[in-house]
Structures are given as C-alpha cells and as structure tokens.
Amino acid sequence: KKKDTQESSSFDKELFKRSVLYNVKTLYRKTLEEATPQQIFQAVGYAIKDVVIDNWLTTHKEYDKQDPKTVYYLSMEFLMGRALGNNIINLQAYKPVKEAMDELGLDLNVIEDQEPDPALGNGGLGRLASCFLDSLSTLGYAAYGCGIRYRYGMFKQEIRDGYQIEVPDNWLVDGNPFELRRPEYAKEVKFGGYVNVRIDENGRSNFVQEGYQSVRAIPYDLPIVGYGNGIVNTLRIWDAEAIECFHLDSFDKGDYQKAVEQANLAKNIVEVLYPNDNHYAGKELRLKQQYFFISASVQEAIAKYMRKHDDIRKFYEKVTFQLNDTHPTVAVAELMRILMDEYYLTWEEAWNVTIKTCAYTNHTIMAEALEKWPIELFSRLLPRIYQIIEEINRRFIIKIQEMYPGNQEKIRKMAIIYDGQVKMAHLAIAAGFSVNGVARLHTEILKKQELRDFYEMMPEKFNNKTNGITQRRFLLHGNPLLADWVTAHVGSDWITDLPKISKLKIYADDEKCQQEFMNIKYQNKVRLAQYILEHNGIEVDPRSIFDVQVKRLHEYKRQLLNILHVMYLYNQLKDNPEMEFFPRTFIFGAKAAAGYYNAKMTIKLINSVADVVNNDPVINGRIKVVFIENYRVSNAELIFAAADVSEQISTASKEASGTGNMKFMLNGALTIGTMDGANVEIVEEVGAENAFIFGLSSDEVINFENNGGYDPTEIFNNDPDVRRVLMQLINGTFAPNDPDRFRTLYNSLLNTISTNKADMYFILKDFKAYAEAQRKVENAYRDEKRWARSAILNVACSGKFTSDRTIQEYVDELWHLDKVVLPKKV
Ligand code: 26M
C-alpha cells in the first residue's frame, strides 16, 4: 500500500538518459566522456527543466481556467539553495534519476555539487520565504514569489588567518539552466524628477511624474515544483536594464548625459544584495532596489488581473500582497498610485482596495533593524510615492486624534512621518489588514511592547503565524538515511503531512530502533567529518558529541557565550587533565555583516581558540573546535543531519522565531537553548525533559532593560571561572603577539565607558546557567539509550514545525486562497 515515494510512475528513465546525452552534445558539442562536471550539471539541469516545463505549462493553463485567488509573496530576499536535487525530489524522481546517472557512469551527488548555491538572501527571513514557496506549491495554491535577481548574492566567506574575508559570489557565470527570461513582461520603473498636475484629453486633472530617470525591469522566472502534485509556481526575480535611448548620436549633451546616467542606474540597482541581517543602514541604493522590484511586481500583478477582470475595485478578491518585513512596504503606496493615477479611482476607492490587499509580517524586534528613511532622500527619489504617503499619514493622524483626542504623545509615537523620517513599519501597519509575528512569544512581545500603541488602536489586525521549515529539503533531501528509516517505520505520509511523523513515538523506547537511529546519526557524522577534513583540514572524531551553532553572526545570538564556555572547559581540562570528560566537537558556522566589527572579532576568536585547543597535547583531541567556512544552504543540509546538540542560545526576547532550531529538531538533535522565539513552542511539543533549557526569561530580560540594564562587574568580581575566561581575552592566551586583539569583545562585556552599556546581551548573567545546562548535556549523552530516546522523540514531535502548517494558517486566516487540483494525467 505504502508505495515508495521516490518512485515516480510517469518518469521515463531511458528518455531522460537520452535527453542528458543530447544536451551535452547540443550545448557543448561534446560526448559525456569529454564534458566537464559543470557541463554535465548543465546538461542534467536542462533535462530536468524539460520535465518541469510541462508541469509548469499545465499548472498555468489550469490557473487560467480556474482563476484562483493568488498570493504575491513580496520579498527582498529568497535564500533558495540549490535547485537540481530539490526539483528531482519534488518530482518524486530521485531514484530513477540516480539510477540513470549510475548507468551513465555518473555520480548524482557530484553533479549536484556543481550547482552554485543561489544565495539571494541573508539568513532566516530569506530562507523562510523559500520554504514558504515550497509549501505553497506542494499544497496546491497559486503563488508568486517576487524579488530581485541580484548579480551578486550573499558574499562567499573565506577564512584567512582566522579572519573572515568577503569574496563576491558570481553565481550566474556558468548560466542558470532553470531560469526563463521573460522580456515580454518587462516594466518601466521611474525614479526622481518632480510631480506635475496635467489635464488629460478627457479633461481629468492628473498627477504625472516628469523629469525622471527610468530603468527597464525584466523578469526571470524560476520554477517552484510542488511535491508529487504536478503544480509548478513561479519565483519571479527582476533584472534591470537600461532603457534604450535613440538619441545617443544626437548633439544634445543633456540627452547623452541622461542616457549614460540611466545606464549606470540600471547597472547599479541589481548589482548586489546588502549583506546586513537585522540591521538597517539607510542607503539610497537600497531604497532604489526596494522601489524597483516593487513597482515592477505591482504593475505586473495589476496587468495580470486586468487581463481576466474588468473591475479593478475588486482586485483584493483575487490578490493578496504579503510583505516580508518592511522592506517591500512601498508596495502600499505604489498600489495607491497606480489605482489613482492610472485607473482613476478616488482616494477612498483606492484605499479600500489597498487595505484589503496588503498584509505585513514582522521578523525582528531589534531596534537597529527598523527602517526609517530621511524625508529628503525619500521625496527626492520617489516624489509621487512620497506625496501619497504624506496623505496616508495625514489621514492616519486624524484617526489617531479621533481615538485619543488631544494626545500628542500618541501622534509622536505612531505617526508614519515624524522627526524628518518615514517610518516603514508604521506605514505597513496602517495600510494593511494584518500584522503578524513569527512565533507565539514574538507576537506577544509585539503586542505588549514594541507595537503596543498600534495593537491597542487596531487589535483586530494582530495575529501570530509561527514559522516552519520544509521537511522535503531538510529531511528528505538532506538526510536520506534518516528519511528512509522514518518511512520504513511510519510510512511516507510525513513527506506532505509532517504531523504523521508522531507515529515514531512508539519506537522511542525500542532498543533496536534506538541503535538504528544512533547508527544513522553516526554515518551522517562521518559524512560531515569528511566534509570538514576536505574543507578545513581538521580531523574530527565522529564518536564525539557534535555540538553545533550555525546561523548568522550577531551579538544577540551569543556565539560569544558559546566560545567563552569552550574556553572555560579548556581551562578545566588543563587544570585537571584526568577529569571525566566526554569528547566533544564544537562546530560553528556563521557569516558576519561586512561592517560589523564585534561579529568579525568573534569569528577570529573562535578560530584562535580552535588553534590553541585543537593542538594542545593535554587536551589530546577531547575538545575540538571547528569553524565551517562559508556556511550556506547546501552545507547546512549536511550539518543538520549530523548534529547531536542544537545551540539556540539567543538572549531571551531577541530571536523572533529562529528556524534552524526546527531543522535540528527534525534531524534528531537535542536543543540547548533559552526560552526565546520558537524554542518555547519546540519545548512545549517535545517536553522539557528532552531539551536543555537555561537562562533568563524574556520577561526578566525586558525588566532589566526597562530599568537601565544590570551590572556585570559583580559577576566578574565574584566568579573566578568567569573572571579567568575574561582575562584570557586580554592577556594574550589566544593572541600571544597581540594581547589587545580581543579588547573590544572584553569591553562589550564589562566596560561601560565606551558604550555606556555593558553586557547588553546578558552573556555573563547567563553564563553559569549555560555551563550547568552543558554539564547536563554531557551526562545525558553518556546514557546512549536515553539520548537516543530523546532524539527520536525530537523527530517524532517536530510535526508542528513544517512550513506546510504555517502556510495553511496564512491561507485559512489571511489569504483565503483557493486550492488548485490538476486534472489527472491520462
Ligand atoms: C535591512 C536594511 C538594510 C539591509 C538589510 C536589512 C535586513 C535584511 C534582512 C534586515 C533584516 C533582515 O532579516 C531579518 C531576519 O532574518 N529575521 C529573522 O527572520 C526569521 C524568519 O522569520 C526568524 O526566524 C529570525 O528569528 C529572525 O531573526
């Protein structure tokens, strides 16, 4: 009954082999033997695209017929990861394709490894967008992802002498077999100039932008293949090209100058992804990027709607715009502009459409991430959009005054334009029908703290959508051994219905199952150890505990707490070489924003500690520290599969949700973490006895913050272990030639002079509790049966954290999309 999910009845293996050989011939004039690995990847990619294209066509033919409501997921970032393996998985063709490759004498793993890892995103927010697209297709909902086709995505990280070096990632050099250029859908996007009132031929007075510069937006479509259902949605990313100028040979210097400027604008706009995560920097080019892809996407959404309908006033019945954080918020003003200036709706009519179309997701409470644009910059770059926002603001302030007569404080705190700045979050909240946080705790903090005034004024808009991840990429593709084992025990339903994985619970106490599980984990650790040896030249023991923290480097995520604890363990072992100690491998992976000094010094510290500890004969391999270079989606899949311990140790209240925590859980790692973000819900599902929770609660942190922080010197003075570790930051233990190297990290923990705030992230405050939790981890691991039981229960209790569940909640409560079913193939 349970058919092997890797088998696709309709997949023609022989045809596929011929297709690959044919592609090698026509693309490169080569035989398979002559082709390079990259050329073989391209040939295989095009062969898969052939299969996908048919489903893509059918899907859109059906959308045309059924006219389902469509969500446009507007996002500056999509951290897609490699497409080849994922597409094969979702076509349910992995086994036949693997066989086909074997028969051609090729290794599918090696071919997959040739694909550049598209990194059009920073971290959590971009990866979430990608998981959502996978779920939307798999659940059969009509959706577009809309974003930017950056020439250079996230930088490639190289580690030299322990420091991060950023190297441009030219991901498109060899061409992308999956993308489709669609010049027929190009759009013009206008910047700058001024707004004029013109009387048109019908006698209507109309706002027009004049003296502007413009660029042509050209869409590239990428297929998003649903799992086993034939649905293929579209990720549409926009490239910028110069508008051809026919006056280049004219003697008019103004025209020539303008042509050159427009060409430059086009080239610059999509050049590179800003590599900041959770940090706003007010760059003009960033605002250009935002308006560029939003204007093009909104224009196309409206054009597409008008191809089938005649009343733009009912746009919201067929379309929702989901704003992925505030980055795409100019969409609300762009929609207003087109409705009023191009479709002649009144303000009231246009507003009614806009507020029923747009919805906003908040992803962070870090104050430094809030987008506030200087009026001068904003109005100069987007004069008509700024006018519209001024009017939205004027009317919003009237509403505030109606509700809170005479209360200037409310206006000061809530206005969209105030103090010379345009506040994008306030605009997104005022102009949409929904505001959601990304985990229960996060949404509660938004309601009670960060967005309290807005919640009190418009409580009906606020809701929670706890994040999720796709089990197709992060278990089925990333961990085939565990995926097969799960399927052997509970069937394959979990692939599209993750809560079914709870049937594993009955095996948690089964000793044979425990052994099988630990054996699979061991093999995955061997696989990762090989990767580490190849890429870092460090030998690690797969029998040691693999303790992993992989995520963007940020002070609030507290990689510093982790490495300080490693230093503390090192001191203990040095003092007492004979003490009982279970060997442990501390694995880090993290990119730091290029200008974030403390983050970069934390990377250097991790590598410096690694140098000392890994080579100390007294330690004798019992502690190993590994910094995995260039952490990204493709190696993440290997890392999650091999982890025993999942480090989720952010300062409570700071991590909106986290999604890595869920990927570890799904792969049977045990969490050591704070009660922050979605950790709260993870512990609720798996039980506190199957995780290691420590540290301040979010209420305690917020209390300290509201009372001016806490004083870490007391801990420094009274705790000799902590004091010793801190002194090692400034006495040259890990920097013999430059003892002051880590002084700024030391200062961030203790010195109130430079920053006026010491230990803002409560690292010293939580240190003892963390060390204690780590002792419990070690003891638990000694009892292999108990550990295996907990690990299996983590897998079994991960059902809630599928992005399929998250998307279904968005659909049921906010988007109200129609489910699309394809006609059965004959
Ligand atoms: C802003 C301005 C200029 C340049 C870049 C930015 C910017 C880019 C990304 C700001 C924030 C960015 O991402 C925030 C983010 O990734 N937040 C994470 O979202 C995840 C998905 O909801 C959550 O799981 C994480 O907890 C949250 O940190």
Angle, CA of 139, 143 and 147, to the nearest 5°:
130
| 293: pLDDT strictly greater than 50 | yes
108: alpha, beta or left? (left if phi > 0; alpha if psi -120 to 50):
alpha
Mean pLDDT computed over every residue of the chain? 96
824 alpha carbon, distance to own chain's centre: 35
Q: Is 557 a catalytic residue?
A: yes
Contacts (Cβ under 8 Å, ≥6 apart) of 218: 181, 182, 183, 185, 186, 238, 239, 240, 241
Residue 120 DSSP symbol: B
Which band of pLDDT confidence, cut at 50, 70 and 90, is reported for residue 252? Answer: low
Structure tokens at 108: 């599918």
Residue 466 makes CB contacts below 8 A (sequence gap 6+) with 438, 439, 440, 657, 678, 681, 800, 801, 806
**DSSP, res 718:** H
β-strands 623-627, 584-589: how paired?
A: parallel
Q: Is the pLDDT of residue 135 over 90?
A: yes
Structure tokens at 290: 């935002």
Compute CA distances 269 → 70, 196, 468, 809, whole Å: 28, 26, 32, 35
Contact indicator for 552, 591 with CB cutoff of 8 Å: yes
Q: Count of H helices and E strands in the chain?
A: 32, 23
Strands of the sheet with 692-693, listed across from one edge: 623-627, 584-589, 545-550, 645-648, 670-673, 692-693
Cα–Cα distances (Å) from 778 to 245, 382, 405, 553, 694, in that order, read 68, 57, 60, 25, 15
Q: Which residue has the tokens 């045309």?
A: 64
Does 655 contact ligand 1 (Cβ within 6 A)? Answer: yes
**277, two tokens:** 């995560």
Q: How far is the CA of 790 from the centre of ligand 1 (A)?
A: 31
CA quadruple 480, 486, 487, 489: dihedral sign:
positive
Q: Among 337, 472, 591, 663, which one carries the catalytic annotation?
A: 663
Residue 612 β-bridge partners: none
Give me the catalytic one of 5, 659, 671, 806: 659
Ligand 1 centroid to residue 571 C-alpha, Å: 36
The answer to whether residue 743 is catalytic is no
- Residue 70, helix vs strand vs coil: strand
Residue 826 has pLDDT above 70, yes or no: no
Ligand 1 mutation pick, 125, 371, 550, 558, max ligand atoms within 8 A of CB? 125
551 classed as catalytic: yes
Domains of the chain and any CATH numbers: 67-82+117-155+175-467+809-815 (3.40.50.2000), 474-696+765-799 (3.40.50.2000)
Of 447, 448, 435, 273, the residue nearest 358 (C-alpha): 435
Residue ranges of the alpha helices (H) in 81-190? Answer: 84-90, 94-103, 108-113, 124-139
For residue 251, is pLDDT > 60? no
Amino acid at 524: N
Residue 521 near residue 548, CB atoms below 8 Å: no
pLDDT band with cut points at 50, 70 and 90 for residue 3 = very low
Does the Cβ of 332 fall within 6 Å of ligand 1? Answer: no
**pLDDT mean over 343-370:** 96
Give the model confidence (pLDDT) of 516-562 as tens digits: 999 999 999 999 999 999 998 999 999 999 999 999 999 999 999 99
Give the distance (Å) from ligand 1 centre to CA of residue 658.
Answer: 10
Nearest to 562 by CA among 679, 674, 712: 674
C-beta of 648 in contact with ligand 1 (< 6 A) = no
Q: What is the distance between the alpha carbons of residues 371 and 85, in angstroms, rounded to a whole number?
A: 37
* Cβ of 651 below 6 Å from ligand 1: no
The DSSP 8-state label assigned to residue 617 in this structure reads T
Q: Nearest residue CA, atom 2 of ligand 1?
A: 280
Annotation says 768 is catalytic: no
Average pLDDT over residues 351-360: 98
pLDDT band at 1; cut points 50, 70, 90? very low
Q: Is the pLDDT of residue 672 over 90?
A: yes
Give residue 123 CA to ligand 1 midpoint distance, Å.
7
| Banded model confidence at residue 510, pLDDT cuts 50, 70, 90 | very high
User: Which residues are 624's β-sheet partners?
Assistant: 585
Is the predicted ipTM greater than 0.90, yes or no? Answer: yes
Q: Is ligand 1 within 6 A of the CB of residue 467? A: yes
CA angle at 503 for the pair 498 and 504, rounded to the nearest 5°: 95
Residue whose CA lies nearest to ligand 1 atom number 25? 658
Ligand 1 and 437: CB distance under 6 A? no
* pLDDT confidence of residue 10: 82
Question: What's residue 534's pLDDT?
Answer: 96
Q: Which atom, in ligand 1's list, is nearest to the CA of 123?
A: 16
Closest C-alpha residue for ligand 1 atom 10: 278
- Among protein residues, the one with the nearest Cα to ligand 1's atom 1 is 280
Give pLDDT tens digits for 772-808: 999 999 999 999 999 999 999 999 999 999 999 999 9
Ligand 1 contacts CB of residue 274 (under 6 A): yes
Percent of the chain with pLDDT over 70: 97
Where are the extended beta strands (E) located within 318-446? 319-324, 358-361, 372-374, 417-418, 421-423, 434-437
The closest alpha carbon to 115, from 153, 84, 149, belongs to 84
Going from the Cα of 562 to the center of ligand 1, the distance in angstroms, rounded, reads 22
Task: Report the pLDDT value the prediction gives residue 345, as an integer from 0 to 100.
Answer: 97
Can you tell me whether residue 208 is helix, strand or coil?
strand
Whether residue 503 lies in the annotated active site: no
Secondary structure percentages of the chain, helix, strand, coil, to 5: 50, 15, 35
Q: What is the pTM of this model?
A: 0.97
pLDDT of residue 210: 94
Are 261 and 213 a contacting pair, CB within 8 Å? yes
Q: Hey, which of 73, 122, 130 would you mutate to test ligand 1's pocket, going by the most ligand atoms within 8 Å of its Cβ?
A: 122
| Nearest alpha-carbon partner for 72 in 1, 141, 11 | 141
- Average pLDDT on 450-471 reads 98
Place of tokens 């040939």: 43
Whether 371 has a pLDDT exceeding 90, the answer reads yes
> Is residue 468 lining ligand 1, measured as CB closer than 6 Å?
no
**Residue 440 designated active-site:** no
Catalytic residue among 127, 465, 552, 565: 552
For residue 281, the ligand 1 atom closest to its alpha carbon is 3
Q: Which two tokens stand for residue 342?
A: 């191009």
Nearest to 676 by CA among 445, 471, 370: 445
- Distance (angstroms) between ligand 1 centre and the Cα of 453 equals 23
> Measured between alpha carbons, how far apart are the two ends of the chain, in Å?
22
DSSP-assigned letter for residue 464? E
Measured CA to CA, the distance from residue 92 to residue 550 in angstroms comes to 30
pLDDT greater than 60 at residue 248: no
Pick the atom of ligand 1 nearest to 659's CA: 24
Pocket test for ligand 1, best of 148, 154, 277, 360 (most atoms within 8 A of CB): 277
Q: Which range, of 453-467, 548-562, 712-726, 751-765, averages the lowest pLDDT?
A: 751-765
Give the count of beta carbons closer than 10 Å to the beta carbon of residue 510: 15
- As a whole number, mean pLDDT of residues 421-426 equals 98
Please write the tens of the pLDDT for every residue from 11-63.
Answer: 999 999 999 999 999 999 999 999 999 999 999 999 999 999 999 999 999 99
Q: What is the pLDDT of residue 753?
A: 66
Place 245 in a pLDDT band, splitting at 50, 70 and 90: low
pLDDT at 751: 81
Our answer on whether the CB atom of 766 is closer than 6 Å to any ligand 1 atom is no
- Phi and psi at 208, nearest 5°, equal -130, 145
Indicate which residue of 49, 127, 363, 654 is catalytic: 363
Percent of the chain topping pLDDT 90? 92
Cα of 657 from ligand 1 centre, angstroms = 11
Distance 93 CA to ligand 1 centre (A): 34
Of 329, 308, 305, which Cα lies nearest the Cα of 316?
Answer: 305
Burial 591-600 (b: 16+ CB within 10 A, else e): bbbeebeebb
Q: Concatenated DSSP letters for 538-605?
A: ----TTSEEEEEES---GGGTHHHHHHHHHHHHHHHHH-TTS----EEEEEE-PPPTT-HHHHHHHHH
676 Cβ closer than 6 Å to some ligand 1 atom: no
Least confident stretch, 63-77, 501-515, 576-590, 750-764:
750-764
Task: Kindly give the number of the ligand 1 atom that is closest to the alpha carbon of 126.
Answer: 16
**364 pocket-lining for ligand 1 (C-beta < 6 Å):** yes
Pairing of strands 205-210, 194-199: antiparallel
Report residue 480's pLDDT band, with 50, 70 and 90 as the boundaries.
very high
Ligand 1 close to Cβ of residue 282 (< 6 A): no
Phi and psi of 323, rounded to 5°?
-90, 115
SS3 428: helix
* CA–centroid distance, residue 292 to ligand 1 (Å): 20
Digit-coded pLDDT (tens) for 688-727? 999 999 999 999 999 999 998 899 999 999 999 999 999 9
Q: Is the pLDDT of residue 754 over 70?
A: no
607: Cα separation from own chain's centroid: 26
